[in-house]
Structure 1
């Protein structure tokens, strides 16, 4: 069961801006007759937590803003019931409450995935982006259809992998399908892949899930790792099916296992549904539990920035 950190007593099922609807659909949209679209892990169960509805439209902030404490509580509570946490949001500052909540989630064997942000400056590496830069978090950048980094996708050691983040098709709030861009929409591809791995390989520790994702990534410019692409471009099929020669935990900045495969196998059917926290916008998604929480505000005091702008 999720929670609404903006409206006391709510379940986090309201989406006022549509950001979370899109992110959730990339992860777990159920197949529907006549719809040529489905999520990467349609059997995943999404647990809703709404932490903010603030977004920036045409340079102007709109909607109620959340707090670091609300985000920290959502992460902490979700870690008690989820196996994968998706955070399509960014903060410019290291908040002790959020850091502690991330540490708790990691200690609970949760795979934590976070967008790295869309504020790249053409001056080299960018400042740390949180929660992506916290230890144990799998930071995700964005690439386009040609495998090139999206210009706004941030660069730094906290970028661990990249995934599609340009012209992404996803569910649009009240409009069927829409097209989206940004690291907010790259992160759910990685979260969906983690959910599939935890379904097909239920005995793996979170560190091993992350190591598998990194080890099976396709090559990207700059070698591996690089500040713009991390260990490469996400390959969900390889991540789920490949049998690795070596498989050692790697959740932070250390070396990853070799990606060479003895052979590939198609695993048996899923043994269980995988619960996820989506820190996006509140929504009600057909065939799934509703979810919530969009982007963190660009407050002057906290310097928070939405993950999609």
Structure 2
């Protein structure tokens, strides 16, 4: 019976997403405009970001989109350590209290706030007076500083950060960087992580588009470490499934995850920040990987990656579906089919604010549901007549 329930999970989750898209206000998706905005870097002479004085009292749009209330009945990330290789993670964040282990004293300080924001997306626990909760609220965070105090980094720094994450025993490694050129040190670090059975999650594109002018800026291209074999490459999408105009375009993206006006914690205190970009979408995907590895402790990194991809909700952008990833059962030959999959084509935001996209999604979902019900009405009586034996 358990196998039957798990096998039905992707269908149930897809139906839930269609219903969510059709619900009034489902596409609002906007964070509180008064929340401070998280950034990836600060100017050398800029002061460190202070804690936010405003809480996010209502659940953000990502909470319903990802079906987190349902998946938490099965797994909450317990027993899994997720490394955040970034600007550090503050150790005084109440939503992460007691679950942050810094690699070195500097990793427990976050002047920029970006690493803390990603860590919150992954593992922030529910707090009274706050509507925000991370994807895997019982996972542990291994904080690894791979930048200068103001957030500047290099492939070599990121590589050392991945190596430290592996040494610290992390089974999921969030690396919110996208470098335009391949690096031998970064390639070696990713290989080390794969040998250690750790899943590396990285953005398929940078948060800001390339600065070069002309048509080259919009040409699809690879970024690293996302383009390395075995890395789960993630791209951001908004509540209506679109991406921002003039965003960087990946040659290939494994998975779409929320990344538009998402909400998380700051470098300290109870307040919240908001932000957008693929570096933040990494937090949602890494949190979902922690849920999968928590629910099924024996699953390896490659199978975790395959589970996340095979259970994704197929729309204009294949969307992360944590509930289906945790509860679903994939066919044994799915990995071979995945290797032949075509790269993802991502739409940009439409001038109507996504109303057309939402209408198409709702219409497509409704038609699919009608066809599904009709098919079941045809198959079930025949299967019952055969005593549920194969035809």
Please give the TM-score of this superposition, normalised by the length of structure 1: 0.69
1:208 paired with 2:293, answer: no
What CA distance in whole angstroms lies between the structure 1 residues aligned with 2:284 and 2:333?
Answer: 22
Contact 1:198 1:209 (8 Å CA) reproduced: yes
Higher strand share goes to which structure? 1
Match of 1:275 in 2: none
Could you report, residue by residue, the CA deviation over 1:126-164 in whole angstroms, capped at 9, with x for unpaired residues? 221111111111110011011112335433343111111
Aligned residues between the structures: 237
Query: Paired residue for 2:220?
Result: 126
**Structure 2: unaligned runs, 5 residues or longer:** 1-80, 89-102, 342-391
Decide which of 170, 179, 182 is 2:274's aligned counterpart: 179
How far residue 92 of structure 1 moved from its aligned partner, in angstroms, is 1.1
8 A contact 1:18–1:172 mirrored in 2: yes
Distance in 1, matches of 2:323 and 2:182, equals: 34
Name the structure 2 match of 1:261.
none
| CA distance in structure 1 between the partners assigned to 2:237 and 2:87 by the alignment | 32
**Does residue 176 of structure 2 align to residue 88 of structure 1?**
yes
Higher-helix-fraction structure: 2
Whole-angstrom CA distance in 1 between matches of 2:160 and 2:87: 8
Structure 1's unaligned 5+ residue stretches are: 55-62, 222-228, 257-309
Contact 1:120 1:151 in 2 (8 A): no
Q: CA shift at 1:67, angstroms?
A: 3.9
User: Larger RCO: Structure 1 or Structure 2 (Cα < 8 Å, ≥ 6 residues apart)?
Assistant: 1
Seen in structure 2, the aligned counterparts of structure 1 residues 99 and 180 have a Cα distance that, compared at 3 Å, is: same
Q: Which residue of 2 aligns with 1:150?
A: 244
CA RMSD of aligned residues (A): 2.8
8 A contact 1:207–1:250 mirrored in 2: no
Query: C-alpha deviations, 1:198-243, integer Å up to 9, x for none?
Result: 000111121111111111111122xxxxxxx4xx111111111112
Q: Which has the larger radius of gyration?
A: 2
User: Given that residues 86 and 176 in structure 2 are in contact (C-alpha distance below 8 angstroms), is that contact kept between their aligned partners in structure 1?
Assistant: no
Match of 1:98 in 2: 186
Q: What is the TM-score with the length of structure 2 in the denominator?
A: 0.55
CA distance in 2, matches of 1:208, 1:64: 33
Question: Structure 1 residues 140-149 or 125-134, which shifts more?
Answer: 125-134
Who is 1:161 aligned against?
255
Query: In the alignment, which residue of structure 1 is the partner of 2:160?
Result: 73
The residue matched to 1:233 in structure 2 has which SS? coil
Shift of residue 119 of structure 1? Answer: 4.4
What's 1:109 paired with?
Answer: 197
**CA shift digits 1:152-206 (9 cap, x unpaired):** 5433343111111101011134571122100111111000000000000111121
Q: What's the offset of the Cα at 1:42?
A: 1.0
**Post-superposition CA distance 1:103-127 (Å, at most 9, x none):** 1101211111001223457765422
